[in-house]
Amino acid sequence: MDIGIIGAGITGLTAAYDLTKQDHTVTLYEARPQAGGLAAGFRDERWEWPLDHFYHHWFASDADVINLIEELGARDRLFFPWPTTSIYHQGRVYPLDSPVPALKFIPVSQLHRAIRVLQFAPSPLIDRLRVGLISLYLTLTKNWRPLERVSADEWLRRAVGERAYDLWWKPLLISKFGAENYQDVNMAWMWARLHKRTARLGYFAGGFQGFADLLVERVQAQGGEIRLETAVQSVLPTIDGRLRLKTAAGDIEHNRVIATCSPQEMLRLSPSLPADYAAKLSQLKSMGALVLVLALKHRLTEGHYWINVPAGEGLPFMGLVEHTNYVSRKHYGDDHLVYCGDYLPPDHPYFDYSKEQLLETYLPGLLKINPDFDLDWIRASWMFTEKYAQPVPTLDHSHNIPALKTPIPGLWLANMSQVYPWDRGSNYAVEMGRRVAQEAMK
């Protein structure tokens, strides 16, 4: 078949890899100047490796992406450090996952996290016990279906008590989904976050852009074509059963089309979608993502990789990630690389800020993390935004997900809203890409 794929992110590239492997003719259309989508990166002239636009890692349990990397013959480029992830509370940073040698080889990695929870001094012992046991239970149970019928807010409040919930989970839910959405998020989403989490975190030599570039090489070697800076303007069915893609360079027709864009973008591209399918797309909500990336002359924190910043702590961002406390800075010209990130509604004014305005906004938070921080530490800075980054899974979300196969013959949709109950991420982009490729080949 002759198949067009809209979007050369990890989902589109994975689908293209499987389809070209089966000798189908595949053309990918990517609006941006590089492949990779949300996993794409950028390079400073001093660096050996590109750096991801948005901070990324894999868990040791991310079987889909690990299996694909092995299939591509690149297992030697995948490595799993054991960084320290932490939480900020009342002016202090408390480690939650850190390399405790005696626990490195325990099969149930959440046991390690449960023990760290017990050491979180600001919380009373009884609350720490309840949070640790609930975290362990959610890691071990596989029955998530009943959990989507209740909100995370209600379930966790009941399971760990008001005091522990207000300290642990509520601020993190608000940070992730905003005050307007957090009470609507179902508990199956929280289950998935804890169920798949491991303390060991994986990375790819050359960054996530290196992984995307490897997929690009294989797709092209198998006969696929990737057209960068080629935005698709519309997708329309033809009278002879094909699909016409309209681009600035002209119209192109394919037997099949796989769109890997957001639900909102799909509505814009395909106005001929039937009303019931279009209604499902329009009801899906998502949060945007925004990061400020700093290349510093000095280390910002003492060994912390990922610092969760719960809402209400007085910091202007929800997470601080010091990438070079995870991946050696020898690959980045000895820079200390720090992300300050946040999830925000797509219409938030920060998305219209300049890099300088965002740095001015985030500066008080950086000083709270490290009072010695000075603007002279900054060698370079960058700002990246994405308005479709984090789907908001509401109650009974499995009933809200649109089918991969749209009602328009030959047109498929594959995006992060459809990987539920799992959270968005490149591991599930791989799984989604392989699944939609199989569907399209039937």
> DSSP assignment of 366-429, as one string?
HHHH-TT--GGGEEEEEEEEEEEEEEE--TTGGGTPPPSB-SSTTEEE--GGGSTTSPSSHHHH
What lies within 8 Å, CB to CB, of 287 at 6+ separation is 176, 177, 178, 181, 343, 344, 345, 346, 389, 390, 392
Tell me, yes or no, whether 198 lies in a domain: no
Determine contact, residues 198/308, Cβ cutoff 8 Å. Answer: no
pTM over 0.85: yes
Block residue for tokens 């099969």:
107
Residues 154 and 219 in one domain: no
What pLDDT is attached to residue 96? 78
List, for residues 336-394, the tens digit of each pLDDT value. Answer: 999 999 999 999 999 999 999 999 999 999 999 999 999 999 999 999 999 999 999 99
CA distances from 204 to 75, 154, 210, 213, 376 (A): 9, 38, 7, 12, 31
User: 152, 172, 193 — which closes off a domain?
Assistant: 193
Query: Can you read off the two tokens belonging to residue 168?
Result: 């642990």
Q: Are residues 189 and 230 in the same domain?
A: no
Residues 429-441, mean pLDDT to the nearest whole number: 96
Q: What is the CATH number of the domain that holds 257?
A: 3.50.50.60
Position 424 pLDDT exceeds 90: no
User: pLDDT tier at 126 (50, 70, 90 boundaries)?
Assistant: confident
417 and 430 housed in the same domain? yes
Q: How many domains does the chain have?
A: 3
16 with 63, same domain: the answer is yes
Residues 304 and 380 in one domain: yes
Residues 210 and 70 in one domain: yes
Residue 89, in any domain of the structure: no
**Is there a single domain that holds both residue 384 and residue 320?**
yes
d(CA 295, CA 337): 5
Q: Please, which contacts does 235-238 make with residues 24 or more away whose CB atoms are closer than 8 Å?
A: 235/6, 235/259, 235/269, 235/270, 235/411, 236/270, 236/272, 237/272, 237/408, 237/409, 237/410, 237/411
Looking at the domain assignment, is residue 93 inside a domain? no
Classify residue 166: in a domain, yes or no: yes
User: pLDDT tens digits for 40-96?
Assistant: 999 999 999 999 999 999 999 999 999 999 999 999 999 999 899 898 988 999 887
Is residue 19 within 8 Å of residue 26, measured between CB atoms?
yes
23 lies in a domain? yes
- Based on the domain organization, do 245 and 231 belong to the same domain? yes
For tokens 């990737």, the residue is: 226
Q: Using pLDDT thresholds of 50, 70 and 90, give the confidence band for residue 401.
A: very high
- Give the pair of three-digit tokens for residue 362: 């985030």
436 in any annotated domain: yes
Supply the DSSP symbol for 53.
Answer: S
Q: Give the span between the Cα atoms of 96 and 433, in whole angstroms.
A: 33
Q: Which of 157, 172, 193 is the last residue of a domain?
A: 193
CB atoms within 10 A of CB 10: 29
Instruction: Kindly state whether residues 268 and 415 are assigned to the same domain.
Output: yes
Summary count for the chain: helices (H), strands (E) = 13, 20
Last residue of a domain, one of 193, 221, 254: 193
Do 279 and 228 fall into the same domain?
yes
Give the distance, in angstroms, between the CA of residue 394 and the centroid of all CA atoms in the same chain.
Answer: 18
Contact 132, 159 (CB under 8 A): no
131 and 223, same structural domain?
A: no
**Is residue 84, in this structure, part of any structural domain at all?**
no
- Asked if residue 83 is part of any domain, the answer here is no
Strand partners, 202: 58
Separation between Cα atoms, residue 51 and residue 40, nearest integer Å: 8
What whole-number distance in Å separates Cα of residue 185 and Cα of residue 207?
31
**Contact present, 337 and 300 (Cβ < 8 Å):** no
- Reported as half-sphere exposure (CB side, CA atoms, 13 A), residue 39 has a value of 33
Residue with tokens 């405790």: 100
In the chain, how long is the greatest CA-to-CA distance? 69
Residue 344 phi, psi (nearest 5): -140, 155
Considering the domain architecture, whether residues 250 and 264 belong to the same structural domain is answered as yes
pLDDT digits (tens, 9 = 90+) for 268-279: 999 999 999 999
The CATH number that applies at residue 304 is 3.90.660.10
Enclosing domain of residue 142? 109-193
Question: What does the DSSP assignment read for 211-253?
Answer: HHHHHHHHHHHTT-EEETT--EEEEEE-TTS-EEEEETTEEEE
Q: What is the mean pLDDT of residues 181-208?
A: 93
360 contacts: CB under 8 Å, gap ≥ 6: none
- The whole-number average pLDDT for the span 17-33 is 97
